[in-house]
Amino acid sequence: MKRKKPQVVLKNVVITDYAAEGKSLARIDGKVIFVEKVVPGDVVDIKLNKNKKDFAEGFPVHFVEYSKDREEPFCNHFGLCGGCIWQMLPYQKQLQYKHQQVTDSLQRIAKVNLPEIDTIIGATETRYYRNKLEYTFSTKKYVTNEELAVLKKDGNVYEDIAAAGFHARGFFDKVVEIETCHLQEEPTNAIRNAVAAYAKENNISFYDIRNHVGFLRNMMVRLTTTGEIMVNIVVGENYKTTIEQLMQFVLQQFPQITTLLYTINTKFNDSIFDLEPIVVKGNGYITEKLENYQFIISPKSFFQTNTKQAEKLYSITRNFAELDGTQTVYDLYGGTGSIGIFVSNKAKKIIGVELIKEAVDDAKENAKINNLSNAEFFVGDVINICTDDFFEKHGKPDVIITDPPRAGMHEKLVRKLLDMAAPIIVYVSCNPATQARDLALLDEKYTVTKVQPVDMFPHTHHIENVVQLKLK
């Protein structure tokens, strides 16, 4: 029988620095210890859950002394919910560590010549900044040890409890019941709480993610600066009468909703990209504005979730593109065309390329409502689309804007960019580590000339970064 290794607890450990991905670090005899739920300056006892030769990972079991940089979190759900894990840090400290994350990633991973990295651009509003939230309805409420002790008192048997909110950090099947979330303005909390209460009062089941049964599954709420509200309720069972009654309840309680939809999802995963939302009220989309540009947003559209910071991010991208009206701009991973359209008034032509057909359909519609005649959008992989024949018809790029997902660009795409050899590339990234990896490959032909971090998500460790590269 294999003997379990004894659990190691390190005493009185001083947390010295921020590491990345929401973790901090300490060093003991030259060994790096990555620690969750702490900040630099904390002195803690740490239980290790991973202990390798060169590094270890752990979590605090006792705080000997709190850092002077800590402040009181403003949310009752802090520490349980998977979001806003940096509420205990003053916002200026958050910005300092995010700037450090960008610097460390580019220097350590990219290992290319870098200009001075501009000071990170912070958010004016650090609460109620999200235009989109997705809630989960679950049969398994996350219960703390203290709550569990109360439930089990006097021999009571603990049973699963329905909950509406966000996944508990580190659990795919447990949901923290949210009373008030500070990420999105009202009526988001009122809608979520009302739908959950209605379901409980009418014996409507919540979704069991392990057994894949249950009616009420997810809900997305989108708000715009133009005052429009979209709600898409996702159900796991096609019970027509129950759906109709729930929709009527929502309409009666919240007449300010401009677009109400529902989606029937009987799959084993939560993705709705291959499903068709059904419109109950409205035209099936809402409209947002960035500067003077309008954008339609459908239930399946990707759109930057912090509208005010998106304006700053796109303005930097436009400035880095150095457009004077004569350039052809290729917007890769173009989504619904938001970046391409935003920079279009400074360009001769915009060519958008995106894999998802529905996003390209939205991009074309967005170009139409903004009366653009110099923007075209294409469905497919850049590697397959950008051929010599395509260049002959549409022109080679003078500027390439690329905004890939967190995984960064595929190496084949990086090779394609090197072959295309546009004079300027503007690389917008939500993951400085994968961006740095790609910059190392682009170094074959390009020099990094400008770097500008932007904070899109206060109280989280996530950071956007814009890099300008010029052909050597």
User: 468 and 449 in contact (C-beta within 8 Å)?
Assistant: yes
| Residue 430 appears among annotated catalytic residues | yes
User: Could you give the CA distance from residue 419 to residue 36 in angstroms, rounded to a whole number?
Assistant: 43
Taking a C-beta distance cutoff of 8 angstroms, is the pair 13, 45 a contact? Answer: yes
The CA–CA distances, whole Å, from 169 to 83, 175, 188, 239, 282 equal 8, 9, 21, 32, 35
The helix (run of H) or strand (run of E) holding residue 35 is: strand 31-35
Listed in sequence order, the residues at least 6 apart from 143 whose beta carbon sits closer than 8 Å to its beta carbon are 151, 158, 161
Name which of 111, 265, 130, 107 is nearest 185 in CA terms. Answer: 130
Distance CA 391, CA 201 (A): 61
Contact present, 218 and 135 (Cβ < 8 Å): yes
Task: Tell me how far apart the alpha carbons of residues 42 and 67 are, in angstroms, rounded to a whole number.
Answer: 4
Distance CA 266, CA 305 (A): 27
Q: Residue 47 — φ and ψ, nearest 5°? A: -95, 125
Catalytic residue IDs: 430
